[in-house]
Homo-oligomer: A and B are copies of this chain.
Amino acid sequence: MPVNSTSSTDPFMLAAIAEAEAGLSEGGIPIGSVLVHQGRIIGRGHNRRIQQGSAILHGEMDALENAGRLPASVYTQSVLYTTLSPCAMCTGAILLYRIPQVIVGENLTFLGEEALLRNRGVKVDVLQNTRCIDLMKQFIRNHPALWNEDIGA
């Protein structure tokens, strides 16, 4: 386990982890996300590549979709929690909607576009959460081809 890994007691990261675990229990890729507006979860989601044959429903995208149509002002007052470092697509969605802060469960199994987010002024915090790391390590070990498909590799 990495030196800086932690367990989380943040209820929003725990909600994102619960989404990742729900995805795993459906046979899916265990990545979850929640969109939090002024201290309240307004969208929850998890990766649905396997469950729905989806090329675009990553955890973050699913949370944004489930939050529904929202005015710009809601996004700019929100925080996105995700169990895994956001890929280029999810990063782009964060930039489109000008979500100012992203809390990332871990970036050890996959490092997304955190540098681009920070370059555009998004605050990115990475927890290196033990449960998030374990979920992805085990999934990638057991299903490397599925994981590669999800990240276009």
Q: Which residues of A contact B (CB under 8 A)?
A: 49, 53-56, 61, 64-65, 67-72, 75, 87-93, 95-98, 113, 148-149, 151-153
Contact status B98-A113, CB under 8 Å:
no
Distance between A64 CB and nearest chain B CB, rounded to angstroms = 5
Chain multiplicity (copies): 2
Q: 6 shortest A-B CB distances, which residue pairs?
A: A92-B92, A88-B95, A89-B92, A88-B92, A89-B93, A97-B152
Measured CB to CB, the nearest residue on chain B to A54 is: B65
Task: Give CA–CA (A71, B55) in the complex, Å.
Answer: 10
B residues within 8 A CB of A54? Answer: 65, 69
Residues of B within 8 A of A92 (CB): 87-93, 95, 113
CA of A128 to CA of B77, assembled, Å: 36
B113:A72 contact, CB within 8 angstroms: no
